[in-house]
Structure 1
Amino acid sequence: ERDQSTIRLLTVSLEDANKAKLAAEKDRDFVREQYMNASGYVTTVRNENAELEKRAQITEKQATEGVALVRATFTERIRFLEEDVKSWRQMADFAVAKDSRMNDDIRRRAAEAPELEYRNEKLKEEIEDLTTHIGELNGEIAK
């Protein structure tokens, strides 16, 4: 009977060991599956990050080039407007000088002066608007 008791005890112990082994194998398989899932996820995230980095670089390059083009365009526009203002100013100065020498044309020239000044002011406002816009673009570039 002692042998049977020992056999039963060993059998129970063996069954417990087998159950523990099965549980350990299930845990191992679960951990392996989770590791594979995590590894796959990391690979996917790395690939997505690499793609996003490429897209960010392309976008940054396009933005930089676009801002440079806009800046060059507005710089040229400002230069043109400044030359135009200078030209109009010279014409206005010439008209005032001529009017002072010619009494017959004083009234007519006096009537033209406000129009020329108005045009000069409009051009100055346009220059100021463009200068403000360039400042905004420079601020965006600085970002």
Structure 2
Amino acid sequence: MTDFSVDYLNKLQEAVDRFQDAFEEWMKTQEEFDRESSRSLFPTVRTKQGEDINKVRQLELDVAAASGPASRAVQVTGAYVGVSGVREPIDPIANWFTMSRPKPLLDPRDVRMAISTIKGRLDALILDVQSMAVMKRNRIFRGFPVLFRI
């Protein structure tokens, strides 16, 4: 169960959606590689030839700005990613930018999978909070605990 309200969890869901939109917009300007093909040494993304570098930089800033609030959803859902050679699990949303650096921690698929996992876990948390609210209402109005209602 969770101590968060449905409203707060919905706001986190919106933050993750904004991050996903910004990330996918930036990815349109990138060539994708996976960690295996880059041998975990080379970046897993590279700016496509002919892209306006100023546009790409602005899109990177948009993703960075969106990652702040969305990263909180990783903490709430526990959707950290284990990376070989890194002691602690990492936040895939906060570390998205490592894809464009040598020895990247993530590839685009990792980030996309994390986004989907986070969304699913937030949905589950929202259902938990809603079901607890129903159970509390039933206890108040019926005068005794109701475990199951048919």
Same fold flag (TM > 0.5): no
| Structure 1 or 2: more helix by fraction | 1
TM-score by length of 1: 0.39
Larger Rg: 1
Ranked by relative contact order (alpha carbons within 8 Å, sequence separation 6 or more), the top structure is 2
